[in-house]
Amino acid sequence: MDSLLTSMPKVELHRHLEGCIRTSTLLELAKGGAIDLPTRTHAELDSLVKLKGPMAGLEQVLAMFGLLRTAFVDLEAVERITREALEDALHRENVRLLELRFSPDFMFGLNNVSWEYGLERIARTCRTFEAETGGTFAVGLVVIASRGLGLLSVRRTAEFALAHRAELAGFDFADGEKDNPAAQYRELASAFHKAGLPLTVHSGEDGGWEHVRDTLELLRPARIGHGVHAVDDPSGHTLELLATRGVCVEVNLVSNYLTGTVARVEDHPLRRFLGAGVEVALCADDPQLLDTDLLREYEAARTAHGLTLSDLVECNARALEASFLSEEKVAPVRRALLDWAAEHIPPVQRSL
Ligand SMILES: [Zn+2]
Protein backbone atom coordinates (compact mmCIF):
# COMPACT_ATOMS: atom_id res chain seq x y z
CA MET A 1 0.00 0.00 0.00
CA ASP A 2 2.84 2.40 0.81
CA SER A 3 4.34 2.32 -2.67
CA LEU A 4 0.86 2.50 -4.21
CA LEU A 5 0.03 5.61 -2.16
CA THR A 6 3.39 7.11 -3.04
CA SER A 7 2.86 6.58 -6.75
CA MET A 8 -0.57 8.29 -6.77
CA PRO A 9 -0.30 11.77 -8.34
CA LYS A 10 -1.36 14.18 -5.60
CA VAL A 11 -2.85 17.61 -5.18
CA GLU A 12 -1.88 19.73 -2.18
CA LEU A 13 -3.96 22.85 -1.58
CA HIS A 14 -3.00 23.77 1.98
CA ARG A 15 0.72 23.96 2.73
CA HIS A 16 2.61 26.72 4.52
CA LEU A 17 6.10 27.48 3.28
CA GLU A 18 7.03 28.47 6.84
CA GLY A 19 6.20 24.89 7.91
CA CYS A 20 8.40 23.28 5.23
CA ILE A 21 11.87 24.07 6.61
CA ARG A 22 14.13 21.04 6.97
CA THR A 23 15.97 20.80 10.30
CA SER A 24 19.20 20.15 8.39
CA THR A 25 18.72 23.44 6.54
CA LEU A 26 18.29 25.36 9.79
CA LEU A 27 21.54 23.82 11.06
CA GLU A 28 23.40 24.71 7.87
CA LEU A 29 22.11 28.28 7.97
CA ALA A 30 23.37 28.52 11.57
CA LYS A 31 26.72 26.98 10.66
CA GLY A 32 27.17 29.62 7.97
CA GLY A 33 26.47 32.29 10.59
CA ALA A 34 23.20 33.41 8.98
CA ILE A 35 20.98 32.62 11.97
CA ASP A 36 21.24 31.89 15.70
CA LEU A 37 19.84 28.68 17.10
CA PRO A 38 19.42 27.56 20.72
CA THR A 39 21.22 24.31 19.83
CA ARG A 40 23.39 22.88 17.05
CA THR A 41 22.37 19.27 17.64
CA HIS A 42 20.00 17.79 15.06
CA ALA A 43 17.96 15.77 17.57
CA GLU A 44 17.64 18.67 20.01
CA LEU A 45 16.69 21.11 17.28
CA ASP A 46 14.17 18.63 15.94
CA SER A 47 12.45 18.62 19.33
CA LEU A 48 12.20 22.43 19.20
CA VAL A 49 10.82 22.75 15.68
CA LYS A 50 8.81 19.56 15.24
CA LEU A 51 5.62 18.62 16.98
CA LYS A 52 5.67 14.88 17.63
CA GLY A 53 2.71 14.76 20.00
CA PRO A 54 -0.38 16.84 20.74
CA MET A 55 0.16 20.34 22.05
CA ALA A 56 -2.18 22.30 24.26
CA GLY A 57 -3.29 24.67 21.51
CA LEU A 58 -2.62 26.68 18.42
CA GLU A 59 -0.66 29.36 20.31
CA GLN A 60 2.09 26.89 21.19
CA VAL A 61 2.48 25.89 17.56
CA LEU A 62 2.71 29.54 16.62
CA ALA A 63 5.56 29.87 19.13
CA MET A 64 7.47 27.13 17.28
CA PHE A 65 6.89 29.13 14.13
CA GLY A 66 8.64 31.98 15.96
CA LEU A 67 11.93 30.09 15.71
CA LEU A 68 11.28 29.01 12.13
CA ARG A 69 10.53 32.52 10.91
CA THR A 70 14.09 33.61 11.68
CA ALA A 71 15.29 31.27 8.91
CA PHE A 72 14.10 33.58 6.09
CA VAL A 73 17.08 35.76 6.83
CA ASP A 74 17.95 36.78 3.27
CA LEU A 75 16.90 36.09 -0.31
CA GLU A 76 19.33 33.20 -0.62
CA ALA A 77 17.71 31.46 2.36
CA VAL A 78 14.23 32.23 0.98
CA GLU A 79 15.17 30.59 -2.32
CA ARG A 80 16.73 27.56 -0.68
CA ILE A 81 13.77 26.90 1.61
CA THR A 82 11.31 27.34 -1.28
CA ARG A 83 13.24 25.01 -3.54
CA GLU A 84 13.50 22.33 -0.85
CA ALA A 85 9.77 22.56 -0.17
CA LEU A 86 9.10 21.91 -3.86
CA GLU A 87 11.63 19.06 -4.03
CA ASP A 88 10.17 17.37 -0.96
CA ALA A 89 6.62 17.65 -2.31
CA LEU A 90 7.45 16.20 -5.71
CA HIS A 91 10.13 13.65 -4.88
CA ARG A 92 8.90 12.33 -1.53
CA GLU A 93 5.13 12.56 -1.96
CA ASN A 94 4.59 12.75 -5.71
CA VAL A 95 2.63 15.98 -5.36
CA ARG A 96 1.92 17.19 -8.90
CA LEU A 97 -0.07 20.29 -8.11
CA LEU A 98 0.94 22.39 -5.14
CA GLU A 99 -0.51 25.57 -3.74
CA LEU A 100 2.15 26.98 -1.47
CA ARG A 101 1.12 29.70 0.94
CA PHE A 102 3.11 32.14 3.01
CA SER A 103 2.59 35.20 5.16
CA PRO A 104 4.95 37.98 4.01
CA ASP A 105 4.66 39.89 7.29
CA PHE A 106 5.30 36.80 9.40
CA MET A 107 8.10 35.58 7.17
CA PHE A 108 9.90 38.81 6.41
CA GLY A 109 8.72 41.02 9.29
CA LEU A 110 11.69 40.14 11.53
CA ASN A 111 14.16 39.78 8.69
CA ASN A 112 15.74 42.34 6.45
CA VAL A 113 13.95 41.12 3.33
CA SER A 114 11.60 43.35 1.37
CA TRP A 115 8.19 41.83 0.63
CA GLU A 116 8.58 42.63 -3.08
CA TYR A 117 11.97 40.97 -3.44
CA GLY A 118 10.87 38.06 -1.24
CA LEU A 119 7.82 37.32 -3.37
CA GLU A 120 9.80 37.81 -6.55
CA ARG A 121 12.42 35.28 -5.41
CA ILE A 122 9.82 32.72 -4.30
CA ALA A 123 7.90 33.09 -7.59
CA ARG A 124 11.06 32.80 -9.66
CA THR A 125 12.18 29.69 -7.76
CA CYS A 126 8.77 28.12 -8.41
CA ARG A 127 8.86 28.95 -12.14
CA THR A 128 12.37 27.52 -12.49
CA PHE A 129 11.39 24.33 -10.68
CA GLU A 130 8.26 23.91 -12.80
CA ALA A 131 10.32 24.31 -15.96
CA GLU A 132 12.85 21.72 -14.75
CA THR A 133 10.11 19.16 -14.27
CA GLY A 134 8.98 19.56 -17.86
CA GLY A 135 5.36 20.33 -17.06
CA THR A 136 4.76 17.36 -14.71
CA PHE A 137 4.59 19.62 -11.66
CA ALA A 138 2.54 22.78 -11.19
CA VAL A 139 2.80 25.26 -8.34
CA GLY A 140 0.92 28.42 -7.40
CA LEU A 141 1.38 30.91 -4.58
CA VAL A 142 -1.16 32.00 -2.00
CA VAL A 143 -0.39 35.05 0.12
CA ILE A 144 -1.52 34.89 3.74
CA ALA A 145 -2.67 37.70 5.99
CA SER A 146 -1.79 36.72 9.56
CA ARG A 147 -4.81 37.88 11.55
CA GLY A 148 -2.79 37.61 14.77
CA LEU A 149 -0.43 40.37 13.59
CA GLY A 150 -3.26 42.91 13.70
CA LEU A 151 -5.55 44.72 11.31
CA LEU A 152 -2.85 47.05 9.95
CA SER A 153 -0.74 44.06 8.97
CA VAL A 154 -3.76 42.35 7.39
CA ARG A 155 -4.58 45.49 5.38
CA ARG A 156 -1.00 45.93 4.24
CA THR A 157 -0.86 42.27 3.17
CA ALA A 158 -4.12 42.59 1.27
CA GLU A 159 -2.86 45.66 -0.59
CA PHE A 160 0.39 43.85 -1.35
CA ALA A 161 -1.50 40.85 -2.75
CA LEU A 162 -3.75 43.03 -4.90
CA ALA A 163 -0.72 44.89 -6.26
CA HIS A 164 0.91 41.55 -7.17
CA ARG A 165 -2.25 39.86 -8.38
CA ALA A 166 -0.53 38.49 -11.52
CA GLU A 167 1.98 36.45 -9.49
CA LEU A 168 -0.57 34.92 -7.12
CA ALA A 169 -3.06 32.07 -7.23
CA GLY A 170 -5.05 33.18 -4.19
CA PHE A 171 -5.28 34.82 -0.79
CA ASP A 172 -5.76 33.42 2.71
CA PHE A 173 -6.67 34.79 6.13
CA ALA A 174 -4.86 32.65 8.71
CA ASP A 175 -4.17 32.15 12.43
CA GLY A 176 -5.99 33.57 15.44
CA GLU A 177 -9.59 33.44 14.21
CA LYS A 178 -11.12 33.44 17.67
CA ASP A 179 -10.12 37.03 18.46
CA ASN A 180 -10.55 38.35 14.94
CA PRO A 181 -14.14 38.14 13.69
CA ALA A 182 -14.75 37.82 9.96
CA ALA A 183 -16.79 41.04 9.85
CA GLN A 184 -13.66 43.20 10.01
CA TYR A 185 -12.34 41.74 6.74
CA ARG A 186 -15.53 42.15 4.76
CA GLU A 187 -14.35 45.05 2.60
CA LEU A 188 -11.02 43.39 1.92
CA ALA A 189 -12.80 40.22 0.80
CA SER A 190 -14.95 42.29 -1.58
CA ALA A 191 -11.80 43.82 -3.06
CA PHE A 192 -10.41 40.34 -3.72
CA HIS A 193 -13.63 39.23 -5.37
CA LYS A 194 -13.58 42.34 -7.54
CA ALA A 195 -9.97 41.68 -8.53
CA GLY A 196 -10.71 38.02 -9.26
CA LEU A 197 -8.24 36.81 -6.62
CA PRO A 198 -9.68 33.59 -5.13
CA LEU A 199 -10.06 33.42 -1.37
CA THR A 200 -9.55 30.72 1.24
CA VAL A 201 -9.89 31.31 4.98
CA HIS A 202 -8.57 29.39 7.99
CA SER A 203 -11.82 28.91 9.87
CA GLY A 204 -13.31 26.54 12.44
CA GLU A 205 -9.88 25.57 13.76
CA ASP A 206 -9.53 27.64 16.94
CA GLY A 207 -12.82 29.40 16.18
CA GLY A 208 -16.24 27.80 16.66
CA TRP A 209 -19.00 27.04 14.13
CA GLU A 210 -20.28 30.63 14.35
CA HIS A 211 -16.95 31.78 12.92
CA VAL A 212 -17.29 29.40 10.00
CA ARG A 213 -20.85 30.55 9.35
CA ASP A 214 -19.83 34.24 9.49
CA THR A 215 -16.82 33.58 7.27
CA LEU A 216 -19.03 31.90 4.67
CA GLU A 217 -21.71 34.60 4.83
CA LEU A 218 -19.50 37.68 5.05
CA LEU A 219 -16.32 36.78 3.18
CA ARG A 220 -17.71 34.28 0.64
CA PRO A 221 -14.48 32.27 0.27
CA ALA A 222 -14.13 29.54 -2.36
CA ARG A 223 -12.46 27.31 0.20
CA ILE A 224 -12.12 26.92 3.97
CA GLY A 225 -8.97 25.78 5.75
CA HIS A 226 -9.70 23.18 8.48
CA GLY A 227 -13.41 23.93 9.03
CA VAL A 228 -13.52 21.33 11.82
CA HIS A 229 -16.03 23.11 14.05
CA ALA A 230 -18.52 23.68 11.21
CA VAL A 231 -20.12 20.39 12.24
CA ASP A 232 -20.88 21.71 15.76
CA ASP A 233 -23.70 23.96 14.49
CA PRO A 234 -26.72 22.23 16.07
CA SER A 235 -28.99 23.39 13.24
CA GLY A 236 -26.73 21.82 10.59
CA HIS A 237 -26.93 25.09 8.67
CA THR A 238 -23.16 25.72 8.51
CA LEU A 239 -22.46 22.26 7.10
CA GLU A 240 -25.28 22.78 4.63
CA LEU A 241 -23.80 26.13 3.57
CA LEU A 242 -20.47 24.44 2.83
CA ALA A 243 -22.20 21.79 0.73
CA THR A 244 -24.67 23.95 -1.17
CA ARG A 245 -22.10 26.64 -1.99
CA GLY A 246 -19.58 24.04 -3.13
CA VAL A 247 -16.98 25.36 -0.68
CA CYS A 248 -14.07 22.94 -0.51
CA VAL A 249 -12.74 22.16 2.97
CA GLU A 250 -8.97 21.78 3.16
CA VAL A 251 -8.77 18.99 5.74
CA ASN A 252 -5.60 18.59 7.82
CA LEU A 253 -6.02 15.49 9.99
CA VAL A 254 -2.59 15.28 11.63
CA SER A 255 -2.45 19.04 12.20
CA ASN A 256 -5.86 19.10 13.89
CA TYR A 257 -4.83 16.24 16.17
CA LEU A 258 -1.47 17.80 17.10
CA THR A 259 -2.91 21.26 17.78
CA GLY A 260 -5.69 19.77 19.92
CA THR A 261 -8.51 20.82 17.59
CA VAL A 262 -9.62 17.19 17.83
CA ALA A 263 -8.64 14.81 20.65
CA ARG A 264 -7.92 11.90 18.29
CA VAL A 265 -7.57 11.63 14.51
CA GLU A 266 -10.67 9.39 14.70
CA ASP A 267 -12.64 12.31 16.15
CA HIS A 268 -12.14 14.48 13.08
CA PRO A 269 -15.48 15.07 11.29
CA LEU A 270 -14.09 13.96 7.90
CA ARG A 271 -16.88 11.42 7.43
CA ARG A 272 -19.53 13.99 8.34
CA PHE A 273 -18.20 16.36 5.70
CA LEU A 274 -18.25 13.61 3.07
CA GLY A 275 -21.68 12.41 4.19
CA ALA A 276 -23.10 15.93 3.88
CA GLY A 277 -21.75 16.26 0.34
CA VAL A 278 -19.01 18.73 1.25
CA GLU A 279 -16.01 18.83 -1.10
CA VAL A 280 -12.92 17.68 0.77
CA ALA A 281 -9.22 18.06 -0.03
CA LEU A 282 -6.73 16.18 2.14
CA CYS A 283 -3.76 18.39 2.97
CA ALA A 284 -0.65 18.38 5.18
CA ASP A 285 -0.56 22.00 6.46
CA ASP A 286 3.04 22.15 7.78
CA PRO A 287 4.91 18.98 6.79
CA GLN A 288 8.20 19.64 8.60
CA LEU A 289 6.76 21.30 11.69
CA LEU A 290 4.05 18.65 12.11
CA ASP A 291 6.27 15.80 10.97
CA THR A 292 3.73 14.78 8.37
CA ASP A 293 3.18 14.71 4.62
CA LEU A 294 0.37 13.64 2.30
CA LEU A 295 1.36 9.98 2.68
CA ARG A 296 0.84 10.17 6.44
CA GLU A 297 -2.41 12.11 5.94
CA TYR A 298 -3.77 9.51 3.49
CA GLU A 299 -2.75 6.72 5.82
CA ALA A 300 -4.59 8.48 8.66
CA ALA A 301 -7.68 8.89 6.45
CA ARG A 302 -7.53 5.20 5.59
CA THR A 303 -6.93 3.75 9.03
CA ALA A 304 -8.91 6.20 11.20
CA HIS A 305 -11.79 6.94 8.79
CA GLY A 306 -11.89 3.94 6.47
CA LEU A 307 -11.29 5.84 3.24
CA THR A 308 -10.50 3.52 0.34
CA LEU A 309 -7.96 4.03 -2.40
CA SER A 310 -10.83 5.10 -4.62
CA ASP A 311 -11.96 7.66 -2.01
CA LEU A 312 -8.45 9.09 -1.90
CA VAL A 313 -8.41 9.48 -5.67
CA GLU A 314 -11.82 11.14 -5.42
CA CYS A 315 -10.49 13.62 -2.80
CA ASN A 316 -7.60 14.41 -5.15
CA ALA A 317 -10.02 14.95 -8.02
CA ARG A 318 -12.11 17.30 -5.85
CA ALA A 319 -8.97 19.15 -4.74
CA LEU A 320 -7.95 19.53 -8.36
CA GLU A 321 -11.28 21.09 -9.30
CA ALA A 322 -11.08 23.39 -6.25
CA SER A 323 -7.55 24.52 -7.08
CA PHE A 324 -6.92 28.20 -7.71
CA LEU A 325 -4.48 27.38 -10.48
CA SER A 326 -5.32 27.90 -14.15
CA GLU A 327 -6.89 25.16 -16.26
CA GLU A 328 -3.67 25.09 -18.25
CA LYS A 329 -1.82 23.93 -15.12
CA VAL A 330 -4.61 21.71 -13.83
CA ALA A 331 -5.22 19.75 -17.06
CA PRO A 332 -1.96 17.70 -17.13
CA VAL A 333 -2.43 16.76 -13.47
CA ARG A 334 -6.00 15.67 -14.17
CA ARG A 335 -4.75 13.43 -16.97
CA ALA A 336 -2.05 11.94 -14.72
CA LEU A 337 -4.60 11.23 -11.97
CA LEU A 338 -7.10 9.64 -14.40
CA ASP A 339 -4.35 7.48 -15.91
CA TRP A 340 -3.23 6.38 -12.48
CA ALA A 341 -6.80 5.56 -11.39
CA ALA A 342 -7.41 3.58 -14.60
CA GLU A 343 -4.31 1.52 -13.90
CA HIS A 344 -4.73 0.91 -10.17
CA ILE A 345 -8.44 0.93 -9.34
CA PRO A 346 -10.83 -1.71 -10.71
CA PRO A 347 -13.61 -0.13 -12.86
CA VAL A 348 -16.33 -1.24 -10.43
CA GLN A 349 -14.82 0.89 -7.62
CA ARG A 350 -14.12 3.87 -9.82
CA SER A 351 -16.22 6.98 -9.61
CA LEU A 352 -14.12 9.00 -12.05
ZN1 LIG B 1 -2.84 26.23 7.75
Distance from the alpha carbon of residue 278 to the mean position of ligand 1, in angstroms: 19
Three-class HEC string of the chain = CHHHHHHCCEEEEEEEHHHCCCHHHHHHHHHCCCCCCCCCCHHHHHHHHCCCCCCCCHHHHHHHHHHHHHHCCCHHHHHHHHHHHHHHHHHHHCEEEEEEEECHHHHHCCCCCCHHHHHHHHHHHHHHHHHHCCCCCEEEEEEEEEHHHCHHHHHHHHHHHHHCHHHCCEEEEECCCCCCCHHHHHHHHHHHHHHCCCEEEEECCCCCHHHHHHHHHHHCCCEEEECHHHHHCCCCHHHHHHHHCCCEEEECHHHHHHCCCCCCHHHCCHHHHHHCCCCEEECCECCCCCCCCHHHHHHHHHHHHCCCHHHHHHHHHHHHHHCCCCHHHHHHHHHHHHHHHHHHCCHHHCCC
Judge whether residue 348 has pLDDT over 80. Answer: no
Band of residue 91 on the pLDDT scale cut at 50, 70, 90? very high
* Listed range (54-58, 77-81, 108-112, 115-119) with the worst mean pLDDT: 54-58
Distance from the alpha carbon of residue 348 to the mean position of ligand 1, in angstroms: 36
State pTM to two decimals: 0.96
**Could you say which architecture CATH assigns to the domain 2-349?**
Alpha-Beta Barrel (3.20)
* Length in residues, the chain: 352
Q: What angle do CA 275, 281, 9 make, to 5 degrees?
A: 125
Return the C-alpha torsion angle 175, 181, 182, 186, nearest 10: -120
Judge whether residue 248 has pLDDT over 80. Answer: yes
- Where do the structural domains in the chain lie, given as residue ranges? 2-349
Q: How far is CA 272 from CA 5, 239, 242, 339, in A?
A: 24, 9, 12, 29
Distance from the alpha carbon of residue 283 to the mean position of ligand 1, in angstroms: 9
Distance from the alpha carbon of residue 131 to the mean position of ligand 1, in angstroms: 27
Residues less than 5 Å from ion ligand 1, measured at CB = 285
Distance from the alpha carbon of residue 98 to the mean position of ligand 1, in angstroms: 14
* Listed range (46-55, 179-188, 259-268) with the worst mean pLDDT: 46-55
For residues 6 and 4, what is the distance between their CA atoms, to the nearest angstrom?
A: 5
Distance from the alpha carbon of residue 349 to the mean position of ligand 1, in angstroms: 32
pLDDT per residue over 262-316, tens digit each? 999 999 999 999 999 999 999 999 999 999 999 999 999 999 999 999 999 999 9
Distance from the alpha carbon of residue 271 to the mean position of ligand 1, in angstroms: 20
Distance from the alpha carbon of residue 101 to the mean position of ligand 1, in angstroms: 9
